C-alpha cells in the first residue's frame, strides 16, 4: 500500500511544478518554459514572461557544508553497496536556472551518514557525485540517512551549474520530530517524500542563482494546448467523448520511454516519458513519439 507523508504547503507547490514539467514535451523543457505564462495586457502589450518555476519560492538557499564533506567522491548515482543496511530511498528532481530552464550537466555531489548516523570519513561510503542529464534531471539512489546528535535527518549536497559557483545545501525529510529543534533546518529544503512499499521516494527541484537567457518563443507546434478548447476547432458531428482517436493512444496516460501506441493506423514509440495530453497526439509531437 502506498501512503503519503504530509509535506508543507510550499513543498506541495513544488510537486505541482514537477508534475507539470513531466507533462511538458521535450522542446518545451529544453527551451521554452517561460513562454507558458506569456500573455498580453488589456492594451495588447506583451506581458513579461513569468518563469514557469517561479511558484513563489526563491533560489534554493545555501546551508552549511558541515564537517564531513570530502572532495573527490566517486562518480555514481547509487550510493548503495553490497550489504547496505537501511530504508531504500530514491531522490529525483530537476536543477533550474533563474529563467527556469533546466540545467544539463550540473554537477551534484551528495554525502550523508549511514543508517546508524555515522559518516564514512575514511572512505567514500554514502558519497557520490553525478551530473544532471540533458533534461536537467537527477536521480540519487541511497538510503534514508540515520540520525546523529544535534541534527535532524538530512542529506548534504553541492550543486554546480557548468562554469558557475557551487551551491552547498542540505535536503530534509517531512514530519521529522527533530525538524522543529534543529536550528539549521529550513522547511524550504524539505523534500516531498512518499512511501512506496518498504522504500521511500523523495523529490526536490533546485533553483540555482544562475543567469539564463529566456527563450524568445517556442515554435507554434510545440506550444502546449490551453485548458480551454480552441474556438477555431472544426465542428464535429459527434461529441469528442464519443469520438476517441483510433488506436491505443489516450490522453492522461503516463507513458514511459519505449512504450508503443497506435494512432490512426500508425504505430509510435515513446521517446521520452511523459503524461499525454489532448493536443499532444503522437503525430503532433515528434519529440515525444517516433514512428515505428
Chain residues in the site for Fe ion (CB under 5 A): 66
* Nearest distance in Å: CB 114, Fe ion: 11
Nearer to Fe ion, 57 or 182 (CB): 182
- What is the spatial distance between Cα 267 and Cα 170, in angstroms, rounded to a whole number? 45
Least Cβ distance, residue 84 to Fe ion (angstroms): 18
Nearer CB in complex with Fe ion: 107/118: 118
CA 123 to chain centre: 30
Q: Is the CB of 173 or the CB of 268 nearer to Fe ion?
A: 173
CA geometry: angle 91, 97, 102, nearest 5 deg? 55
Q: How far is the CB of 273 from Fe ion (least distance, A)?
A: 33
Taking the C-alpha atoms of residue 188 and residue 8, their distance in angstroms, rounded to an integer, is 9
Q: How far is the CB of 154 from Fe ion (least distance, A)?
A: 6
Q: Which residue sits closest to Fe ion, CB atoms considered? A: 66
Asked whether the beta carbons of 137 and 92 are under 8 A apart, the reply is yes
> Where are the strands (E) in 48-132, listed by range?
88-96, 107-111, 127-131
Nine cell digits for residue 228: 480551454
Using the minimum distance from each CB to Fe ion, give the nearer residue, 66 or 104: 66
C-alpha cell at 242: 464519443
Q: Which is nearer to Fe ion, 117 or 211 (CB)?
A: 117
| 24 close to 42: Cβ distance less than 8 angstroms | no
- Please, which residues bridge with residue 247 across strands? 263
Q: Minimal distance in Å, beta carbon 117 to Fe ion?
A: 9
Question: Looking at beta carbons only, is 70 or 269 nearer to Fe ion?
Answer: 70
Q: List the one residue out of 141, 291, 111, 276 whose CA is nearest residue 201.
A: 141
Min separation Cβ 68 and Fe ion, Å: 6
Amino acid at each position: 500500500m502506498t501512503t503519503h507523508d504530509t509535506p508543507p504547503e510550499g513543498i506541495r507547490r513544488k510537486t505541482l511544478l514537477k508534475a507539470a514539467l513531466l507533462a511538458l514535451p521535450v522542446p518545451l523543457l529544453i527551451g521554452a518554459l517561460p513562454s507558458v505564462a506569456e500573455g498580453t495586457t488589456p492594451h495588447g502589450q506583451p506581458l513579461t514572461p513569468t518563469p514557469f518555476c517561479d511558484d513563489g519560492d526563491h533560489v534554493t538557499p545555501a546551508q552549511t557544508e558541515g564537517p564531513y564533506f570530502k572532495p573527490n567522491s566517486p562518480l555514481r548515482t547509487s550510493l548503495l553497496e553490497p550489504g547496505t543496511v537501511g530504508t531504500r530511498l530514491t531522490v529525483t528532481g530537476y536543477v533550474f536556472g533563474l529563467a527556469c530552464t533546466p540545467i544539463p550537466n550540473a554537477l551534484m555531489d551528495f554525502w550523508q551518514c549511514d543508517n546508524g548516523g555515522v559518516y564514512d570519513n575514511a572512505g567514500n561510503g554514502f558519497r557520490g557525485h553525478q551530473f544532471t542529464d540533458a533534461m536537467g534531471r537527477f536521480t540519487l539512489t541511497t538510503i534514508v540517512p540515520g540520525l546523529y546528535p544535534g541534527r535532524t535527518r538530512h542529506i548534504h549536497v553541492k550543486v554546480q551549474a557548468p562554469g558557475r559557483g557551487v551551491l552547498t545545501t542540505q535536503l530534509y525529510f517531512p514530519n521529522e520530530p527533530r525538524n522543529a529543534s534543529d536550528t539549521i533546518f529550513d522547511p524550504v529544503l524539505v523534500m516531498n517524500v512518499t512511501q512506496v512499499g518498504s522504500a521511500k521516494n523523495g523529490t526536490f527541484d533546485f533553483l540555482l542563482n544562475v543567469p539564463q537567457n529566456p527563450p524568445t518563443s517556442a515554435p507554434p507546434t510545440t506550444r502546449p494546448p490551453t485548458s480551454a478548447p480552441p474556438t477555431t476547432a472544426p465542428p464535429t458531428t459527434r461529441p469528442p467523448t464519443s469520438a476517441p482517436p483510433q488506436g491505443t493512444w489516450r490522453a492522461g496516460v503516463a507513458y514511459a520511454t519505449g512504450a508503443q501506441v497506435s494512432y490512426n493506423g500508425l504505430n509510435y514509440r515513446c521517446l521520452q516519458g511523459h503524461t499525454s495530453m489532448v493536443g499532444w497526439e503522437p503525430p503532433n509531437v515528434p519529440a515525444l513519439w517516433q514512428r515505428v
